[in-house]
Structure 1
Amino acid sequence: MKTTVQHIAIIRLSALGDVAMLVPILRRFLKQHPHVKVTVVTKPFFGKLFKDLPEVNVLAAEVKTKHKGILGLWKLAKEIKSLEVDAVADVHNVLRSKILRFFFFLYGIKSAAIDKGRAEKKQLTALKLKSIRPLKTTHERYEKVLTQLGFPVDLSQEVKFKKPNLPKQFQQQLQPNTKKWIGIAPFAAHESKMYPLVFMEKVMAALNKENNLHIFLFGGGDKEKQLLEALAEKYEHVSSLVGIFAFAEELHIIANLDLMVSMDSGNGHLAAMYQVPVISIWGNTHPYAGFAPFQQTSNQQILPDLARFPFVPTSIYGNKKVSGYEDVMRTIPPREIIDKIKSFI
């Protein structure tokens, strides 16, 4: 008897952290629904996140060139249809993906879209005294879309996989290695989510004194490269990786860390993709909004002084500036982060 293999397209065009959050979902989906073919539709750069999932096909959505505008999206919809997709999971739910869903409707292809919970997130970030509660996580919202298409995913299931090999250049530089590797990603897309670099340097200085640790700094762009290289030069056991390795190689280094320390940013999700423990540091955003790295406990989340800043969270993404809340991150003492790191190492 021949088994019918169904084919699902999953749309998530951006951003880095949101696309990375798909990976642990797909690891479990593939294990629990092994006869279902999966194609992820995302921007070309983000396709690299799925290189270690050979069962997943990636279709590059080139939304700035050939897939730009209505006609471009029509071309993209035809490309997706040509793969013989019979269901579409829209886990982005933005204008582009809504237009794509309309085209799939015309094709007679069923689809389901993520509920982003905008109303409850608006209440969570209201600038008033409030009692806050954890909202459904983004991972749970992704899973619900798949459930609507008939493919529930048990997110609690353990999945074992082999960590990818380190880049040869990296191995040559650090062999033999006898230290614990800690990644630190001190930057974020918005200032309100960034721990002051002068404080983070105190964390690095303390860790540098530990003979059994080596710290790797992650970031992007020329400005971050210069800042992190200058920091690394001060300390024997600190190295900046910015601009040295290709993104795919950097992912494999992250996969082999013993611990990642990140802001509320994409780097935490990249580490969680590979089941690396993540200590996340939060400012004007809050893990209750649903963007904490996958399967990381509340004990791994460092929050500011909420008694002093009772309106936190003031923003879901950290892009809103609130008068009087500029120094939220400064209420987290470096010693708290140092002690938390040592407790995991």
Structure 2
Amino acid sequence: MTKPKHILVFRFSAMGDVAMTIPVIKSLIQQHKNIKITVVSRPFLKPLFLDLENVAFIGLDVDNEYKGFFGLWKLAAELKNLKFDAVADLHNVLRTKILRTFLSSSVRSIEVIDKGRNEKKALTRTEDKIFIPLKSTHERYADVFRKLGFEIDLNQNALLAPKKLPQNFEFKSAQTRKIGIAPFAQYSFKMYPLDLMDKVIELLSKDPQFEIYFFGGGKKEKEQINILTKKFPETTSCAGKFNLVNELKVISNLDTMIAMDSANAHLASIFGVNTITLWGATHPFAGFFPFLQPLSNGLTPDLTKFPNLPCSIYGNKTCPGYEDAMRTITPESVVELIKKTLR
């Protein structure tokens, strides 16, 4: 089998899903020097790929300019001009299925991610649940390239190097440990209750060895973070202060990131930052654990009290009566894990 030299990669969707492609693509181009990758995704995600050699990025407005059947027909016609010889579909949704169909006559190889839907249904169902760790999403991405003929070993070499801090920004002290906190998630069922996060912040802010930096996006999140910084004036908000390029620079220099099952966990982990994750309706076994982080860095609810967890892969729903499951993760256990991992 002749290996392709130029691979077109599809991965739209949320930031965290796209961030998980980074160590896989970096491993691929490190271990196979003579290939080129073109990533097709949403425009605002371009900064994630700036440090990858032999990787081009095309940001597309698939919700407007290339919307619908005829928009995708137009997109496929434009993509054919790139003269790629393989497609790696890391998304496998209706949009990319249509694109694959339009491109199939002009490309040698097309491979698609296996999302493991049946395994995930077995993990999240309440009857006859099969509670075992599933293949990670990073490995599922890597499998697509393996099917194209490339061996990939995902290891420490896939991590991105820390970046130089943004201009006009510096940490308060060289002697302290820098703690990032991203207290929000897309769905409430995987977000640590804010009153408990309040307690975590209080415990950390009393310790002079820590500096605390908040991360979040969206108007509501910024407003809530502003409330936290007023309550804890020794903390710093990064929400809305930087574009993604500069936010990544700050994140890459943290000692620890505390996050939910959310994008900030993946952004921190691709730089090798110690990442503590708090899980609610979802679970580390589903395959979305941050890259190369030890499983002990994930705190989950008490499964003796909530044995049907996980109830969801994405956190958009939970089991009846499980709305307060995350309250069994105590603020003290979060702080103790941070201190333990930083010793």
1:71 partner amino acid: F
Verify: 1:249 aligned to 2:246, yes or no: yes
Residues 235-256 of structure 1 show CA distances to partners (whole Å, capped at 9, x for unaligned) of: 2431111111112111111111
Output the CA distance in 2 between the equivalents of 1:306 and 1:261: 21
Structure 1 residues 160 and 220 mapped into 2: Cα distance closer, same or farther (>3 Å)? closer
2:277 partner amino acid: S
2:282 partner amino acid: T
- 2:15 corresponds in structure 1 to 16
Query: Secondary structure of 1:168's partner?
Result: coil
Query: 2:179 touches 2:257 (CA, 8 Å); kept in 1?
Result: yes
Report the CA distance between 1:184 and its aligned residue.
0.6
Query: 1:208 touches 1:236 (CA, 8 Å); kept in 2?
Result: no
Give the total of aligned pairs.
340
Which of 311, 323, 328 is residue 314 of structure 1 equivalent to? Answer: 311
| Structure 1: stretches of 5+ with no match in the other structure | none
Output the CA distance in 1 between the equivalents of 2:161 and 2:45: 21
Matches within 5 A, 1:90-101: 90-101=89-100
Output the CA distance in 2 between the equivalents of 1:131 and 1:115: 19
Report the CA distance between 1:131 and its aligned residue.
4.6
| Structure 2: stretches of 5+ with no match in the other structure | none
Report the CA distance between 1:277 and its aligned residue.
1.4
Verify: 1:118 aligned to 2:117, yes or no: yes
Output the CA distance in 2 between the equivalents of 1:302 and 1:229: 26
Per the normalisation by structure 1, the TM-score is 0.95
- 1:88 corresponds in structure 2 to 87
Residues 51-90 of structure 1 show CA distances to partners (whole Å, capped at 9, x for unaligned) of: 2224310011210222111221122222222111100000
Output the CA distance in 2 between the equivalents of 1:277 and 1:176: 19
1:55 partner amino acid: N
Output the CA distance in 2 between the equivalents of 1:339 and 1:235: 20
1:237 partner amino acid: E
2:328 partner amino acid: T
Verify: 1:227 aligned to 2:224, yes or no: yes
RMSD between aligned alpha carbons? 1.6
Matches within 5 A, 1:203-222: 203-222=200-219
- 2:161 corresponds in structure 1 to 162
> Which 10-residue stretch deviates more, 52-61 or 24-33?
52-61
Which of 333, 337, 342 is residue 339 of structure 2 equivalent to? Answer: 342
Query: Secondary structure of 1:203's partner?
Result: helix
- 1:276 corresponds in structure 2 to 273
Output the CA distance in 2 between the equivalents of 1:83 and 1:136: 33
Identity of aligned residues (%): 47
Residues 118-177 of structure 1 show CA distances to partners (whole Å, capped at 9, x for unaligned) of: 111111100236351001110010000000111121113534653211111212xx3553
Output the CA distance in 2 between the equivalents of 1:306 and 1:241: 34
Query: Secondary structure of 2:111's partner?
Result: strand
Query: 2:122 touches 2:130 (CA, 8 Å); kept in 1?
Result: no
Per the normalisation by structure 2, the TM-score is 0.95
- 1:151 corresponds in structure 2 to 150
